[in-house]
Structure 1
Amino acid sequence: MPDVRLASSQGKWILLTTVLGSSMALLDSTVVNVALPTIGRDLDASLAALQWTVNAYMVTLAGLILLGGSLGDRYGRRRIFVLGVVWFATASLLCGLSPSAVLLVVARALQGVGGALLTPGSLALIQASFHRDDRSRAVGLWSGFGGIGAAVGPFLGGWLVSGPGWRWVFLLNVPLALLCVPVALRHVPESADEGEHGRFDVLGAVLGALALALLTYALIEARGGTAVVVLTGVAGLAAAVAFVHVERHRPDPMLPPDIFASRQFTAVNLVTLCVYAAFGGYFFLTALQLQVVAGYSPLAAGTALLPTTALMLLFSSRSGALADHTGPRLPLTVGPLLCAAAMLLMLRVGPGADYVTDVLPAVLVMGTGLVTLVAPLTATVLASVDSARAGLASGINNAAARAAGLVAVATLPLVAGMGPKAYRSSTAFDAAFERAMPVCAGVLVVGSLLAFCLVRRPAPDCRRPECRTHGSVTAPPLEGERRG
């Protein structure tokens, strides 16, 4: 039984290393968007290359994150966590040294593999190490520090791009890993699931990641309309069909189909797909809009978005408490509508936009919508299945959000009519942005309608602190298995 106390020196070291590890992946998901215009100019990259800079990471992360959690359960959570940190740092070094856009994209895909190994392990280590009386507080501190990291991320990314250069957005992970790994090896106890003896669903993971990669390529390159694009799209659909077939017939599937027997779980994941698709497109394009059109520096653009995450950190717990009384249907209906309104307000951001009158209102409304939405969504996912499957349910929800975001980043520039060099012309990009934001808002309205029509049963009181103290805008928080 886990017996480490939070007040002990070992407990503090465990908390430090898990925060450092998860912060690497969390920071990376928030700082890269701010660096995109500078990366594009420095590497003479097309808009498609910038899309892949975001999506190559998301493809491997979303496709492998469930497998990463299973590997930790089988072979040891500390072992897989450390492997993930080392892998992530090595890939980050390759990103920082990449001389071309192609090599940067390859390195980003490798970085996603490392993220899939370390992201589930950071929370699982806390829950497998701490005494049950301290576990909730430890998870709350871990989640809170991670949220602070998410809030600081865009500001830090902007400062690095404006100062030392965009390569340091990636190179920063190397010293973090050099601190994290020795602490983990010395102070974190090893743990594994002794009852985990099933075969790994490697085929399912590969097919899932392959389907995402092929379909993403087809969407990003669709404007070319070549035979290769068509064949890639068909191959992606075939891989998706094969993935569903494999998961339905394997004895130990990565994604058990029977978990969707819960209508509530299915409904909330449909809402998740809509809202995080809209968020993925919004944050990708807004970071570009602020710099390309409004003329903000990378530092100013990163700082501009800080209030959104700050609001989440300050008020998510109150939102979660309110949702416990009202049930999930109301916040899951109202939250997306507030976020849709924020995206329409963002249409005010044009050449020479004033921060206080043009940008800040949209950022504040977006933060209010996220506060209303994220904690109840996570709590409802966890409450919609048996407690023994909470970790699996959370992993599926997290992967669904990331997959939705990468599809949005691939599709939205195509829908908005952005050309390969659109981000180098303020006029062209501004026109495309004005077409894209209503599309994102419309997807959120669909999510709101789905919540209103399908989410019925009130969720029981969710006391998991990771539901409430969360600052990431790219995916819902992960919940690990509770043992001991």
Structure 2
Amino acid sequence: MTSHMPDIEKTASTAASPRKAIFGPIVANVAFVMELTLVPLLLPAIQMQFDLSIGALAWVFNAYGIAVAIGVLLGGWCGDAFNTRKVFGYGVVCFAAGSLVVAAAESFEMLIIGRIVQGLGAGIFSPLVPILLTQAASLKPGRALIVWGSISGYVAAFAPLFYGSFLGQYGWKIAFIFIAFMAAIAWSILNGSQTDDAPAPDPGRTKDYSEFFRARNLWVTFLYVFCTYGSITYYLFRLPVWLSENDVEATSVGFVLSIMWLTFSGLSTLLRNMVDGPRLRVIMLAAPLLIVAGFPLLYSGDSLLLLVLSSVLVGSGLACSNAPSTQLILKFAPKGMRAVSTSLDITFARVGGIAAVAFLADTEFAYAAIAIGGSCLIAAICALTANKGIAEDR
């Protein structure tokens, strides 16, 4: 029996190693999701402290998004060209440092600098999360991705409620300190789970990028992402500001946002097994319709029931656009260019949000509603066109 002990120990060590290697990327992603869901809740307090106009507040929101859009492309390229784990670690450190700069900011300029550094770091590490997870759990990568998606959804759902109930009394800066703390934990776990079996950097091969630019259905799907995520991002920006203007407490704002993310997480789970089937077209078409239906309810009064219904509809729209659009982007991506395609997926989502907030931040509701309706109409046309492309490929 003693002769088998080394093998048993080796097996146990091998089994434990992937589990440990998964924790770092997941914790980093938790910090990333917390920024996504908490910052809209913090905007009114930031606006009050720095005495910002709605246009200046939009820059606080958009500075991060612009930096993420740039960082995603940089992170995707560096992740393929260099050691993925090290690039991921550098991004996490940059994200944590930017969060601390934001927390320590005493001027509008320093606040913007912190948001740029934070966004650049987030952009670098966020597209590498699924890569590290599938490397760490090569035997069961699907399970790791399911765990990742589930945790992200529920963090998004409960982070605003947690802040509104427990941390809000300490001021908005405590949220950025907590985000930096989570990123620091992720970096520590990442360095404590170094493995010797990480794949060597891909030396790369010559790619025909003209083929990428000729992939018409891929770019149609990018436009769909731009329009749907632009509309949803504007909703996330405008919701807490509008509620604050109507003297709604932070706890209630956090509750409404939590409902939206819970709806997104729950419906995404239900749709997970449907995006590969014939229902894909219906699901993608449903997204812009749900967003258009939910947006006017935000301004229909101060009824909590209507606000909750609005958040449910928009959260459902996010769920119906998220997985299906990613599915199509992976399908339409030219061979050997899936990484750059998924990076551009994130970039188009961020740029859509930046454009919507920048152009509609000071706009009256009637004009904003028309713009959101037009954007969703374009998204619906893109959904029909992209799904027609699937039929042509069969």
With normalisation by structure 1, the TM-score equals 0.73
Asked if the contact 1:268/1:455 (under 8 Å) is kept, the reply is no
Answer yes or no: is 1:179 the counterpart of 2:185.
yes
Q: 1:5 and 1:47, CA in 2 relative to 1: closer, same or farther beyond 3 A? A: farther
Would you tell me which structure has more helix in proportion to its own residues? Answer: 2
Asked if the contact 1:278/1:440 (under 8 Å) is kept, the reply is yes
Answer yes or no: is 1:364 the counterpart of 2:281.
no
1:66-85 maps to which residues of 2 (within 5 A)?
66-85=73-92
For the residues of structure 2 that align with 1:63 and 1:296, how far apart are their CA atoms? 35
Answer yes or no: is 1:377 the counterpart of 2:332.
no
**1:436 pairs with one of 356, 360, 368:** 368
Give, in angstroms, the shift of residue 183 of structure 1: 1.5
Answer yes or no: is 1:326 the counterpart of 2:285.
no
What amino acid sits opposite 1:28 in the alignment?
E
For the residues of structure 1 that align with 2:359 and 2:167, how far apart are their CA atoms? 27
Answer yes or no: is 1:304 the counterpart of 2:256.
yes
Answer yes or no: is 1:283 the counterpart of 2:236.
yes
**2:296 pairs with one of 335, 340, 344:** 344
**Partner residue, 2:359:** 411
What amino acid sits opposite 1:119 in the alignment?
S
For the residues of structure 1 that align with 2:337 and 2:13, how far apart are their CA atoms? 26
Q: 1:278 and 1:10, CA in 2 relative to 1: closer, same or farther beyond 3 A? A: same
Gaps of 5+ in 1: 199-250, 417-431, 461-484
Write out per-residue CA displacement over residues 310-362 of structure 1, whole angstroms, 9 at most, x where no aligned residue: 1222222432433433253322222211211111222213xxx1212x21221
**Partner residue, 2:41:** 34
How many residues matched?
382
**1:57 pairs with one of 61, 64, 74:** 64
With normalisation by structure 2, the TM-score equals 0.89
Q: 1:4 and 1:146, CA in 2 relative to 1: closer, same or farther beyond 3 A? A: farther
For the residues of structure 2 that align with 1:436 and 1:102, how far apart are their CA atoms? 28
Give, in angstroms, the shift of residue 138 of structure 1: 1.1
Q: Name the stretch that deviates more: 381-390 or 262-271.
A: 381-390
Give, in angstroms, the shift of residue 161 of structure 1: 6.1
Write out per-residue CA displacement over residues 427-481 of structure 1, whole angstroms, 9 at most, x where no aligned residue: xxxxx34542342233112211232245313389xxxxxxxxxxxxxxxxxxxxx
> Which secondary structure does the structure 1 equivalent of 2:220 belong to?
helix
**Partner residue, 1:236:** none
**Partner residue, 1:262:** 215
**1:272 pairs with one of 211, 225, 230:** 225
> Which secondary structure does the structure 2 equivalent of 1:90 belong to?
helix
Gaps of 5+ in 2: 1-9
1:382-401 maps to which residues of 2 (within 5 A)?
382-386=330-334, 388-401=336-349
Asked if the contact 1:340/1:444 (under 8 Å) is kept, the reply is yes
Q: Name the stretch that deviates more: 160-169 or 332-341.
A: 160-169
For the residues of structure 1 that align with 2:199 and 2:111, how far apart are their CA atoms? 35
| Percent of pairs with identical residues | 23
Give, in angstroms, the shift of residue 40 of structure 1: 0.9
What amino acid sits opposite 1:56 in the alignment?
A
1:143-154 maps to which residues of 2 (within 5 A)?
143-154=149-160
What amino acid sits opposite 1:410 in the alignment?
A
For the residues of structure 2 that align with 1:374 and 1:5, how far apart are their CA atoms? 37
For the residues of structure 2 that align with 1:114 and 1:4, how far apart are their CA atoms? 36
